Amino acid sequence: MGHSIAKVCVLGAGTMGAGIAAQVANAGVPVLLLDRTTDGPDRSIIARSALERLGKAEPAAFMSKAAARLVEVGNFDDDLGRVAECDWVIEAIVEKIEAKHALYARLEDVRRAGTAVSSNTSTIPLERLIEGRSEAFAQDFLITHFFNPPRYMRLIEVVSGARSNPDLVAAVSAFADQRLGKSVVACKDRPGFIANRVGTFWLQSAVNAAFDLGLSVEDADAIAGKPMGVPKTGIFGLVDLVGLDLMPYLKASLTASLPKDDPYQAIARDEPLILKMIADGYTGRKGKGGFYRIN
Ligand code: NAD
């Protein structure tokens, strides 16, 4: 029997989670968007303000006011039980395996068996994500790797594991294709899948070269812009879009999972300036700005 997707839950309302929620709502499908709980009168302020930030940064993220109304916000403590209302749960929290493991353990208790659960991880292999999970969870689990910004990037990488239920994978892939307008690429469960295996290497090499050559941000982006095919942002604009704080996690995750003699190991590094910017809150477009100011 086909698995129909009438309601979606997105866990994590960051750069990606908020954008994915908007994109699902644009397809006319109701979304529950949850993030961490805060003390104070609005315990769901993280998810709520993520949508406000998205609206400011990308006024066209929602296609209409009606679409925006399809997203309901909440928090992991008061609302996680409501994943039982949803047919597809998309996890888009921080790229740290311990955090994802902890959230999946909580999900086991509240979700409906047979509901698709997918991670938006950029680099963590599927089999590692489901370590410690039940057989039922493993069967319902897959990776759906959206690209940033979700409204405009057509590609989605879908990774299924040895135990993933092929009917669920097919249903999620069909939804991504037909309702979200994505080009679905089925990937093997390898570190970084396809796009980030290449893309992270490329981005890290470009950032290293800019620092080693002492290029200004403007010069580096002028070269990496139109001439090298990253027309809108250049390298540092792309780092701002991705989020500076994601860079060390991507590096840590890839260096841990790739073979010791992989060429990426030789170029992977944490740039001290980037670490300082993260510590000072300059995480890019989602923070106080990054290499470029935000208005
Ligand atoms: P983000 O930092 O913008 O948002 C992460 C969210 O996770 C935040 O809202 C935060 O409140 C929440 N969070 C932080 N620590 C947590 C914890 N311990 N437990 C539960 N929630 C926690 O991150 P993002 O850039 O949206 O990335 C989310 C996922 O999507 C990651 O797996 C990342 O690798 C992947 N991804 C990111 C991009 C990108 O360009 N930024 C692209 C594709 C995939």
Q: ipTM, 2 decimals?
A: 0.99
3 labelled catalytic = no
CA-CA distance, 278 to 227, in Å (whole number)?
29
Domain ranges of the chain: 8-187, 195-279
45 lines ligand 1 (CB under 6 A): no
Answer yes or no: CATH 3.40.50.720 is held by domain 8-187.
Answer: yes
Tokens of 139: 């069967």
Kindly list the distances between the CA atom of residue 81 and the CA atoms of 74, 136, 177, in Å, as whole numbers in the listed order.
Answer: 11, 18, 28
Report whether 211 contacts 147 (CB < 8 A): no
Ligand 1 closest atom vs CA 98: 18
Tell me the per-residue pLDDT of 163-198, one tens digit each, with 9 for 90 and over. 999 999 999 999 999 999 999 999 999 999 999 999
Q: To test ligand 1's pocket by mutation, which of 9, 10, 16 has the most ligand atoms within 8 angstroms of CB?
A: 16
Residue identified by tokens 């969870």 is: 137
Global pTM value? 0.96
The Cβ of residue 241 has, within 10 Å, a number of other Cβ atoms equal to 18
Q: What are the backbone dihedrals phi and psi of residue 146, each rounded to the nearest 5 degrees, phi first?
A: -85, 160
Tell me the per-residue pLDDT of 26-43, one tens digit each, with 9 for 90 and over. 999 999 999 999 999 999
75 lines ligand 1 (CB under 6 A): no
The pLDDT score that the predictor gives to residue 295 is 65
* 3-state secondary structure (DSSP) of residue 160: strand
Half-sphere exposure of 257 (CA within 13 A, CB side): 21
1 or 145: which carries more pLDDT confidence? 145
Active-site annotation holder among 3, 100, 145, 285: 145
Computed over every residue of the chain, the mean pLDDT equals 95
Signed CA dihedral, 5, 152, 80, 32: sign only:
negative
Kindly list the distances between the CA atom of residue 34 and the CA atoms of 6, 21, 25, in Å, as whole numbers in the listed order.
Answer: 18, 10, 15
**Cα 225 to ligand 1 centre (Å):** 26
Tokens of 216: 């200004």
> pLDDT over 70 for what percent of the chain?
99
Q: Is there a cis peptide before residue 149, judged by omega within 30 degrees of 0?
A: yes
